Amino acid sequence: MKRLSLVLALAVAAYVASAPLASAATTHHTKSSTAKLHAIKADGEVVSVDATAKTATVKVGGEEMTHPVKGAAAVAELSKLKAGDKVHLTVMANAANEHQYISSIRPATGTTKTATSKKKSY
């Protein structure tokens, strides 16, 4: 009988000792995983792109920033861009307005001159 009591006491002690660890492990990353990002839209100029590393360096308001580029459409645009191109971009930021990544980057329209009209000769 003493042996059974001892086994039960050890089992209960082990269960109680492991219970706080299990609950701590399940809530460890809850705060960071529920943090929401918001979009910041901006116009800028491409300084450089690295399609292999999926990063872009863009100058916005006189400040250069380098961020990863995420999303299939945005990554596909990287190979089409070169230094000096004017772009519209969307940067995802956290609640503290810390930039996390570029979710959209595309050439700005209307910034280049095109010769579409021909003069008529009379």
**Residue 84 belongs to what domain range?**
38-107
Q: C-alpha dihedral over 58, 59, 60, 61, to 10 degrees? A: 180
What's the half-sphere exposure (Cβ side, CA atoms, 13 Å) at 92?
13
Please give the chain's pLDDT, 122 residues, in tens: 666 565 555 555 555 555 554 444 433 333 444 479 999 999 999 999 999 999 999 999 999 999 999 999 999 999 999 999 999 999 999 999 999 999 999 999 864 444 444 444 44
* CATH number of the domain that residue 51 is part of: 2.40.50.320
Q: With b meaning 16 or more CB within 10 Å and e meaning fewer, what string describes 86-105?
A: ebebbbbeeeeeeeebbbbb
Which pLDDT belongs to residue 30?
A: 36
Q: Which amino acid is at 120?
A: K
What is the DSSP-derived secondary structure letter of residue 35? P
Q: Is 122 domain-assigned?
A: no
Question: Is residue 108 within 8 Å of 88, Cβ to Cβ?
Answer: yes
27 in any annotated domain = no
109: which 2 tokens?
């329209």
Q: Please count the structural domains in the chain.
A: 1
Tokens of residue 39, six digits: 């979009």
At 24 the pLDDT is: 42
- For 23-44, the pLDDT digits (tens) are 444 333 334 444 799 999 999 9
pTM of the model: 0.61
Q: Is residue 92 a part of any domain in this protein? A: yes
Examine residue 32 and state whether it is found in any structural domain, yes or no: no
Task: Tell me if 23 is assigned to some domain.
Answer: no
